Structure 1
Amino acid sequence: MSRKTVLVTGASRGIGKAIAVKFAKKGYNVVINCLHNEDRLLQTRKELESYQISCLSYMGDMGDMNKCRELFQMIKKQFGPLDVLVNNAGISYIGLLQDMPAEAWDRIIRTNLTSVFHCSKLAIPGMLERKQGKIINISSIWGVSGASCEVAYSATKGGINAFTKALAKELAPSNIQVNAVACGAIDTEMNQFLSEDELIALIDDIPAGRLGKAEEVADLVFHLGYKNSYLTGQIIGLDGGFI
């Protein structure tokens, strides 16, 4: 029986890396991508290959359709069509909206939202041919409730949530499921800008009394990518009861 293949964008660290490791441990071929840190990406690839699976790594901006096409051509040549797409690539921006440069707005929209369109668009044809596939989008609770001083980030995640619900309706007749995981405060490098006092205050606001772990996100994503063909169009909160 041939191995299934998963693509995880933004997989050199944090949540994306944890997801890639989870699928590798389960025997999937894993395709990983990031934009900036080639050394980390190659280290991640080496770790994934230690699980005796095949791994393809690619440096490039998934907000650029030409780069995205190049990656998907490589995937098709090496593995065939994708079984699972995990749209995880994302950046944040902290600051007042009136102080945000237009270039920063364009960059976060391109990275967080346009990349989801590109990868989904290119993954869908192969899934349609086989009448099966899973698309999982990594979102945020701020896409549901909005966050002060993170307007652009919240807008991109809210866009991902709407994208997820709409695309799920399009693809459900073809047995392709589309869901999103709306993460709360997860213990990754994205939160390292917080001071100790700010971190304590944040944890105090979380009913579970702690930050989430990247591995917990990975466990949920794998479940969504592996089981249940009736679960689709859902924005699943993973936030310790935060909202």
Structure 2
Amino acid sequence: MNRILITGAGGAIGSAVAKVLAYRGASLYLHYYHSKDKTEQLANQLKEKYEDQNFVCVKADLAHPNGPDTLLDQLGEEIDGVVYASGNSDIGLFQNVKTDTIKKTIQLQLTSPFRLLQELVKPMIREKKGKILLVSSIWGLEGAATEVLYSMVKGGQNSFVKALAKEVAPSGITVNAVAPGAVDTPMMKMFGAEDLRLIKEDIPMGRLAVPEEVASLIGYLMSDAADYISGQVISINGAWYC
């Protein structure tokens, strides 16, 4: 691993991934939109710990059609790997989802990764190596009531991973996704205490995952040890869904 772009690097999973990949020797582009302070703090921490590596913060609104171009313009060199960890979720009845929410969610979780990777994969194909990983969700595999839009776009990411993996495999590029279940991140704050209790009760391991557990799996998939793993959507959910 040399130069890796992490989108959503200010989030709980994105920042945990950054720490794992930095430990493994990667220089990182740390993307953010809202979480400037968290991302810059992360970059400074990594710079102090890994002085021979580069950590650059880049800002772009990937929920906006111009977001991918804005991000690409800030990359000063070719990228060897991408971890797309940007995401959001809204809880609500299917018939009440607003048109603007639909547009932004599709842009953020389908159109933007598609457009970004169209450009970033070109040097990977030329160099015959590269690692691409998307952070999907259990609901992209199983579907969730009151999270229909989120389930739809995550399912789209899973199909995207499988199709792109087949196309770029002859160039030595791997494309995978991880599909976490319930992870202890700020996104879970949308649930009340009783809802969280019921979720934990429903999970055979009896608890939520922590971001570091998801990051550990991603770190492996982005390593040379996983060169023959591609086109996979790997669940990490405490045996919640098997």
- TM-score w.r.t. the length of structure 1 is 0.94
Equivalent pair of 2:31/2:58 in contact (CA under 8 Å): yes
Of the candidates 142, 146, 157, which is equivalent to residue 145 of structure 1? 142
SS in 2 for 1:74: coil
Q: Deviations over 1:25-83 (max 9, x none)?
A: 222101111121222221122122122221111111234464423433432x2xx3211
Q: Deviations over 1:160-199 (max 9, x none)?
A: 0000000000001111010000110000000012111111
Structure 2: unaligned runs, 5 residues or longer = none
Partner of 1:74: 74
| Shift, 1:119, TM fit | 2.0
Runs of 4+ aligned structure 1 residues displaced above 3 Å come to 63-67
SS in 1 for 2:74: helix
Of the candidates 126, 129, 148, which is equivalent to residue 126 of structure 2? 129
SS in 2 for 1:134: strand
Deviates more, 1:34-43 or 1:85-94: 34-43
* RMSD over equivalenced CA pairs, Å: 1.4
SS in 1 for 2:222: helix
Over the matched positions of the two proteins, sequence identity in percent amounts to 37
SS in 2 for 1:240: coil
2:152 maps to 1:169:
no
Correspondences of 1:40-189 after superposition (within 5 Å): 40-52=38-50, 53-64=53-64, 66-75=66-75, 77=76, 80-189=77-186
Equivalent pair of 1:25/1:51 in contact (CA under 8 Å): no
Q: Aligned partner of 1:169: which letter?
A: K
SS in 2 for 1:50: helix
Count of paired positions = 238
2:235 maps to 1:232:
no
Q: Aligned partner of 1:7: which letter?
A: L
Partner of 1:11: 9
- TM-score w.r.t. the length of structure 2 is 0.94
Q: Deviations over 1:195-223 (max 9, x none)?
A: 11111100011111110010011111111
Deviates more, 1:59-68 or 1:217-226: 59-68
Equivalent pair of 1:69/1:122 in contact (CA under 8 Å): no
Q: Deviations over 1:130-184 (max 9, x none)?
A: 1000100100010001000000000010000000000000001111010000110
